[in-house]
């Protein structure tokens, strides 16, 4: 009898050992996996929410050597956040392809000065194929060319008072650089108080490094700036940098690892918004500079890109890719949400791509790029600048066309 019991005990131990081994392996894996809440991005937990952040789940840090946590707010029922909601939306008549909008006359042309917007854009109006930086108002008349270099100038940004314009250029790149796809682009500044006078000596270079800097954005007074920076060895893994207005004291606040992440800073300098694949979906994120935490604003399974933010960070607008991609024509509409990610609402309704939004500091006006205008009358729709009040055409706002010619204009800032 004792021998039989001893044999049963041995059999139980024989089966128990592999079970315990599997449990141990799983425990170690969960403890050290990169996506765990405690050790890195991707995981979500119920850890303490940073002071000032919206209620939700919390993940680990944004990236190596970055101390801020990422908060995923509790979702609400507004807006379009799931593929089922998207399917319902695309069933509306406004998205039926046979309802081709008429180009000329569909939107009111802006001919008289309105809110007095100071807009800077990238444009090739003077020299086709060579984009430079221009400044204009909401009427679109008499744009002022600010740069005339043969190099590539892009991502203009302007202070609220219009005294300084920043932009990115590869003007001073090493002429012996063997790789044209990894240009050494730097940040430059134009002093508009001197521009057009004998004392103006040209743009002032602010960054001096061997990296690709792009996507610059300014606070209202120009005291703070954000931009993306990537090394030539890792051009597809840029870092989001926060610096003083003269580009000094730069520090990394996010490791987006996304080449087309474009940041914007609020006018008061307290918030930074950008798009990122951080959680496996293309979402909009907000970094709280003072609280040192990040909020996943959109947290949806539909891609969102290129956010903009007003002075106090209370309004964030962005593109939502309802169909196709940013590189192709499709249903790309503008949406807005609050700083906590709540109250998502649709601003534009049309079957063409609306993109690159910019919002005034007071949050009243939005400038954006849209392929909804037929300059030639041959049903070939060209990109043009438009503006409207921030309640959006979804709520009856009039959309005004700024562009007066078929030239390529993009990346507006105001």
pLDDT score, position 46:
52
pLDDT score, position 264:
97
Q: Are residues 34 and 110 in the same domain?
A: no
Q: Are residues 185 and 232 in the same domain?
A: yes
| Residue 77, in any domain of the structure | no
pLDDT score, position 316:
97
Q: Are residues 38 and 175 in the same domain?
A: no
| Residue 76, in any domain of the structure | no
| Residue 159, in any domain of the structure | yes
pLDDT score, position 40:
40
End of a domain among 70, 104, 120? 70
- 48: phi then psi, degrees, rounded to nearest 5: -65, 135
pLDDT score, position 94:
43
pLDDT score, position 112:
73
Per-residue pLDDT of the chain (414 residues; tens, 9 = 90+): 545 445 444 454 444 444 444 334 334 333 333 333 333 444 565 568 888 888 888 887 666 556 678 888 887 667 777 777 776 766 554 444 434 444 444 567 777 777 889 999 998 877 766 789 999 999 888 889 999 988 889 999 999 999 999 999 988 766 555 555 556 789 999 999 999 999 999 999 999 887 889 999 999 999 999 999 988 778 778 899 999 999 999 999 888 777 778 999 999 999 999 998 887 788 999 999 999 999 999 888 888 999 999 999 999 999 988 765 444 456 788 999 999 888 898 898 776 788 999 999 999 999 999 877 766 665 566 778 999 999 888 788 888 889 887 677 889 999
- Sequence-ordered strand ranges (E) for 303-399: 304-309, 316-321, 332-337, 345-346, 354-359, 365-373, 382-389
Q: Are residues 142 and 262 in the same domain?
A: yes
Full 3-state SS string of the chain: CHHHHHHHHHHHHHHHHHHHHHHHHHHHHHHHCCCCCCCCCCCCECCCCCCCCCCEEEEEECCCCCCCEEEEECCCCCCCCCHHHHHHHHCCHHHCCCCCCCCCCCCEECCCCCCCCCEEEEECCCCCCCCEEEEECCCCCCCEECCCCCCCEEEEEECCCCCEEEEEECCCCCCCCCCCCCCCCEEEEEECCCCCCCCCCCCEECCCCCEEEEEEEECCCCCEEEEEEEECCCCCCCEEEEEECCCCCCEEEECCCCCCCCCEECCCCCEEEEEECCCCCCEEEEEECCCCEEEECCCCCCCEEEEEECCCCCCEEEEEECCCCCCCCCCEEEEEECCCCCCCEECCCCCCCEEEEEECCCCCEEEEEEEEECCCCCCCCEEEEEEEECCCHHHCCCCEECCCCCCCEEEEEC
Q: Are residues 249 and 131 in the same domain?
A: yes
Q: Residue 308 belongs to a domain with what CATH number?
A: 2.120.10.30
Q: Residue 324: left (phi > 0), alpha (psi -120 to 50), or beta?
A: left
Q: Residue 137: left (phi > 0), alpha (psi -120 to 50), or beta?
A: beta
End of a domain among 49, 70, 91? 70
Q: Are residues 22 and 144 in the same domain?
A: no
| Residue 35, in any domain of the structure | yes
Q: Are residues 126 and 245 in the same domain?
A: yes
Q: Are residues 64 and 152 in the same domain?
A: no
| Residue 75, in any domain of the structure | no
End of a domain among 70, 94, 126? 70
pLDDT score, position 233:
79
| Residue 111, in any domain of the structure | yes
* CB-CB contact of 265 with 290 (8 Å): no
Does this model's pTM top 0.95? My answer is no
β-strands 293-296, 69-73: how paired? parallel
Residue 7's domain comprises 2-70
Domain count, the chain: 2
- 347: phi then psi, degrees, rounded to nearest 5: -105, -35
Q: Are residues 154 and 198 in the same domain?
A: yes
Q: What is the CA radius of gyration of the chain?
A: 25
Q: Are residues 137 and 194 in the same domain?
A: yes
pLDDT score, position 16:
45
A 10 A CB-CB count for 328 gives 10
pLDDT score, position 67:
63
Q: Are residues 44 and 117 in the same domain?
A: no
| Residue 78, in any domain of the structure | no
pLDDT score, position 38:
33
Q: Are residues 190 and 334 in the same domain?
A: yes
| Residue 310, in any domain of the structure | yes
């Amino acid at each position: 009898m004792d021998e039989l019991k001893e044999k049963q005990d041995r059999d139980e131990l024989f089966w128990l050992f592999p079970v315990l081994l599997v449990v141990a392996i799983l425990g170690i894996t969960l403890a050290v996996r990169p996506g765990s809440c405690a050790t890195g991005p991707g995981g979500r937990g119920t850890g303490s929410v940073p002071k000032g952040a919206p209620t939700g789940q919390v993940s680990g840090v944004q990236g190596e050597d970055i101390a801020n946590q990422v908060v995923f707010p509790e979702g609400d029922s507004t807006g379009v956040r799931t593929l089922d909601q998207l399917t319902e939306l695309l069933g509306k008549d406004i998205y039926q392809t046979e309802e081709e909008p008429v180009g000329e006359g569909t939107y009111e042309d802006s001919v008289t000065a309105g809110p007095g917007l100071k807009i800077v854009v990238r444009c090739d109006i003077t020299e086709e194929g060579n984009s430079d930086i221009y400044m204009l108002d909401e009427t679109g008349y008499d744009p002022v060319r600010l740069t005339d270099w043969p190099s590539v100038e892009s991502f203009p940004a302007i202070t609220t008072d219009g005294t300084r314009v920043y932009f990115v250029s590869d003007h001073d790149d090493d002429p012996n650089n063997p790789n044209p796809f990894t240009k050494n682009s730097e940040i430059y500044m134009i002093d508009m108080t001197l521009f057009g006078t004998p004392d103006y000596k040209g743009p002032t270079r602010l960054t001096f490094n061997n990296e690709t800097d792009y996507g610059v954005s300014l606070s209202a007074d120009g005291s703070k700036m954000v931009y993306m920076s990537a090394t030539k060895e890792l051009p597809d893994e840029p870092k989001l940098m926060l610096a003083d207005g003269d580009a000094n004291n730069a520090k990394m606040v996010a490791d987006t690892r996304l080449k087309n992440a474009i940041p914007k800073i609020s006018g008061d300098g307290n918030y930074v918004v950008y798009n990122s694949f951080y959680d496996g979906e293309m979402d909009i994120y907000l970094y709280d500079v003072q609280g040192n935490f990040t909020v996943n604003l959109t947290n949806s399974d539909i891609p969102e890109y290129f956010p903009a933010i007003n002075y106090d960070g209370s309004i964030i607008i962005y593109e939502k890719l309802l169909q196709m991609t940013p590189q192709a024509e499709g249903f790309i509409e503008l949406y807005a949400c609050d700083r906590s990610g709540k109250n998502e609402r649709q601003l534009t309704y049309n079957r063409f791509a609306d993109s690159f939004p910019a919002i005034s500091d007071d949050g009243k006006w939005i400038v954006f790029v849209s392929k909804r205008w037929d300059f030639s009358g041959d049903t070939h729709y060209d990109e043009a600048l438009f503006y409207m009040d921030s309640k959006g055409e979804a709520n009856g706002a009039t959309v005004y066309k700024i562009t007066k010619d078929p030239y390529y204009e993009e990346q507006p800032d105001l």
